[in-house]
Structure 1
Amino acid sequence: MAAFIAVLGLTGTASSQIDARFNRLTATEVTVEDTGGDEADRVPLAFPRDADTRISRLNGAEAAGVYWKVRLTPDQSVRSAPAGALGTTAPQTQVVAASPGALAAAGPHLAEGRTFDAYHDTHRQQVAVIGAATARRLGITTLRTQPAVFIGDTPFTVIGVLEDVDRKPDLLLSVVIPRSSAEQIWGPPSDERAKMLVSTRLGAAQQIADQAPWALRPEHPEYFKTIPPPDPTSLRTAVGDDLGQLFLLLAAVSLVIGSVGIANTTLVAVMERTGEIGLRRALGARGAHITVQFLSESAALGMLGGVVGASLGALTVVAVAFVREWTPVIEPWTVAAAPALGLATGLLAGLYPAWRAARIPPAEALRR
């Protein structure tokens, strides 16, 4: 019963944390895709140069930026030294061209250095921001020596190392460079069209998704496709339901295990008290009386377990929530129903032992 109450309580507590996280991150992210509409072949990059500023001016937008994956030739790779020189290579490391707003919208947490800004982008500075894992693979341990990474033979000075991001975790395994520098060296996006990442305030995501195409290109809003966040209510409800069903199954398993324990205890009691059963039968007790006796004992054991287990389970939920700095959530009906559920479990568990006790012949019981 303690496991039953604790599992259900922790399920409710975890679900409330899921609700909060959905609200904070999932409901504040909008993606704008550059489709090019019917002129995709003629317009490789539909985002205007000042796309970041246009979206940031919308009410509810916090940060926005354009990004795309740079297409590299087979002989171009990310290295710590020019091609042909001794150096470490980071194979399969993708290069991402991004505007300053894209990094801001991703919510970067820097281990060292800084991200590039509008000055770097406007003046086509060859600078880069890399993830901590990529830095380790390239042997970059500090930015004090102004290390550089080479994409093919082109050097980029590393000015920042990302420890973590709130959005787009693939940036942690990438080399992020200013979009203007990428356009100058490799041209506009080719394999994959550009996208825009927008971070918004709570409640503004749908509004931003509706307004973004018109703010970017009023004359051609059909060039863009917006992807608003999924409805947080339905999404978190679905996740919460799945989580609840899973943990309810685990709680049921704990009840089954408890039932087996009670049945085993009662059966052992029957075997140890065979002489008592024979004496009672010799004095006139019938099989029904023996059955009621052992059913009563197993039911009392189950109800006592329900009361004690409910207390221990509730204390477990409160303790875990306190350690994790969560708000404990316990449904009152689970605690209130625990004694009755324990009673029912005890009755079911005691049926077979009580039936065995009632079928012991008095004469054989007395001989034992």
Structure 2
Amino acid sequence: MSTATPPRPRPCPAPQPSPARLSPADVVRTGGSGLRSRPMRVFLSALGIAIGIAAMIGVVGISTSSQEELDRKLAALGTNLLTAAPGQSFSGGAARLPDGAVEMVGAIDGVESVSAIGKTDAKVYRNDHVPKEVTGGIGVYAARTDLPGTVGVDVADGRWLTAATHRYPAVVLGAKAAAQLGVYEAGPDAQVWLGGRWFTVVGLLGPNELAPELDSAALVGWPAAEQELDFDGFATTVYARAEGAAVSDVQQVIGATANPENPNEVNVSRPSDALAAKQATDDALSGLLLGLGAVALLVGGVGVANTMVISVLERRAEIGLRRSLGATRGQIRTQFLCESQLLSALGGLGGVALGIAVTAGYAGYQGWPTVVPLWAMAGGVGATLLIGGLAGFYPAVRAARLPPTEALAAA
């Protein structure tokens, strides 16, 4: 009886070694090696990204710095100043505020202080030899002694009109008026020819954002204007400071209070609204510039994509060699994707630094505080990484799909 030979056991296949994993440091090192080998191309590609980011950071930073300066000015000047001025009469002529308008406005509930100026027909000159037909555009106004406290006037040199000087030929010049007349210091030796006689300049005003009409004005005391300049005594602009919570209520009734018989002939304004409107215009322009910055960033992204595609074509031998040595498609893809991200990050960081420098330079030139929001800087870097990822995705996939033999043969 024969016995069957038992089948030999099949040898187990040797386990295939799994591809080595690349650590994050290895990924960054391999991605950076491609950048170091082509420094000029990398610089130009990163520059395209940097210009776009710098434009966006600069626009946001300058706009934010301008807003900060506006907020600072409004905090110093206040947003509770209201003005009432005569408009046009029903017949189309020039209207005027009635006598006692200042006192009536001051009696409104919620009004903290009130003052006024009145325009005269006088002209002011540097000396008495200037022809009378040359006016220079400087208005001469009668002013009350309580004007600085209401409007927030800043006296840059000398002093404001007082009870001792407002009855005499003394004048305070606005900032532009003083520069136009060539008067840079107040004092007994500083005089201007005003209304046919000499007036002593006792004070010079600083610029005023809420009452720009005072910048180009020569201001004399109310009694002196009536005595020396034939001023009729009627106010042409009434300034009122209202309590913060009562600004809207006072604004609604100030016109009817200043001229009860003809309230429609009174123009009421809130000077701080003009500053806010100017800021809104600046914001609209900033939006346009942000769009241009986004276009520049897109162009930079196209430059990154072009650089990476060329890099893949030039480095086919390297890709084939790495694949032959066991690198997987995923590792090749990660390498080139990391390279595009590093390239974009270089441009992004450079663009943020450049944008901050531009903002600081412009804000310093304008005398503004330098403010660059953190979200803008973080958003700039994040946008570059996103652009780098999108721009490098196709070249990375293309590099990963190259067969080793074809890549080596093409090289």
Bin for the TM-score computed over the shorter chain: 0.5 to 0.7
The equivalent residue for 1:242 is: 284
Q: Deviations over 1:257-301 (max 9, x none)?
A: 542453354245335424324657999999x98994675345543
- Report the AA paired with residue 83 of structure 2: T
CA deviations 1:205-261 (Å, max 9, x no partner) are: 2222233245445565455342346879x9599558536624642552463354245
Q: CA deviation at 1:94?
A: 1.5
> Which residue in 2 is equivalent to 1:227?
269
Which residue in 1 is equivalent to 2:40?
none
Distance, in Å, in 2 between the alignment partners of 1:38 and 1:363 is 91
Label 1:245 to 1:152 Cα distance change in 2 as closer, same or farther (>3 A).
Answer: same
Give 1:71's aligned residue.
Answer: 121
Q: 1:269 aligns with which of 311, 317, 320?
A: 311
User: 1:58 Cα shift?
Assistant: 3.6
Structure 2 residue 74 is the aligned partner of structure 1 residue 31: no
Report the equivalent of 1:194.
236
**Judging changes above 3 Å, is the alpha-carbon distance between structure 1 residues 365 and 7 closer, same or farther for their aligned structure 2 residues?**
farther
Q: 2:136 aligns with which of 81, 92, 103?
A: 92
What amino acid sits opposite 1:206 in the alignment? S
Q: For 1:37-48, what aligned pairs fall within 5 Å after superposition?
A: 37-38=89-90, 45-48=96-99
Q: Structure 2 vs 1, CA of residues 90 and 271 (structure 1 numbering), >3 Å: closer, same or farther?
A: farther
Listed as ranges, the gaps of 5+ residues in structure 2 are 1-48
* Cα 1:31–1:255 shift into 2, 3 Å: same
Instruction: State the distance in 2 between where 1:105 and 1:169 align.
Output: 14
Does structure 2 retain, via aligned residues, the 8 Å contact 1:70–1:189? no
Q: Which residue of 1 aligns with 2:210?
A: 167
| Distance (Å, rounded) in 1 between the aligned partners of 2:96 and 2:161 | 22
C-alpha displacement at 1:160, in angstroms? 0.9
1:1-368 paired onto structure 2 within 5 Å: 3=53, 6=57, 10=61, 15=67, 18=70, 21=73, 25=77, 27-35=79-87, 37-38=89-90, 45-48=96-99, 50-71=100-121, 77-83=123-129, 91-100=135-144, 101-117=146-162, 123=167, 125-184=168-227, 185-188=229-232, 194-218=236-260, 221=263, 223-228=265-270, 238=280, 242=284, 245-246=287-288, 248-249=290-291, 251-253=293-295, 255-256=297-298, 258-260=300-302, 262-263=304-305, 265-267=307-309, 269-270=311-312, 272-277=314-319, 292=333, 296-298=337-339, 300-301=341-342, 309=349, 329-331=373-375, 335=378, 339=382, 341-350=383-392, 353=395, 366=409, 368=411
**TM-score normalised according to structure 2 size:** 0.61
Partner SS, residue 344 of structure 1:
helix
Q: Which one-letter code corresponds to 2:143 in the other structure?
A: S
Provide closer, same or farther for how the CA distance between residues 364 and 66 of structure 1 changes in structure 2, counting only shifts above 3 A.
same
| Whole-angstrom CA distance in 1 between matches of 2:190 and 2:260 | 43
Percent of aligned pairs with the same amino acid: 23
Q: Determine the C-alpha separation between the residues in 2 that align with 1:141 and 1:37.
A: 40
Q: Are the structure 2 counterparts of residues 91 and 202 from structure 1 closer, same or farther at C-alpha, using a change threshold of 3 Å?
A: same
Give 1:32 deviation, angstroms: 0.7
1-structure distance, mates of 2:304, 2:58: 20
Q: Name the SS for the 1:252 alignment partner.
A: helix
Q: TM-score, normalised by structure 1?
A: 0.67
CA contact (8 A) 2:190 2:201 kept: yes
C-alpha RMSD over aligned residues: 5.2
Query: 2:66 & 2:180 partners in 1: Cα distance?
Result: 36
Note the C-alpha offset of 1:150: 0.9
The structure with the largest alpha-carbon Rg is 2
Q: Deviations over 1:289-329 (max 9, x none)?
A: 899467534554368669x849x77x969x979x9767875
Q: Is the 8 A contact 2:117 2:141 kept in 1?
A: yes
User: SS in structure 2 opposite 1:143?
Assistant: coil
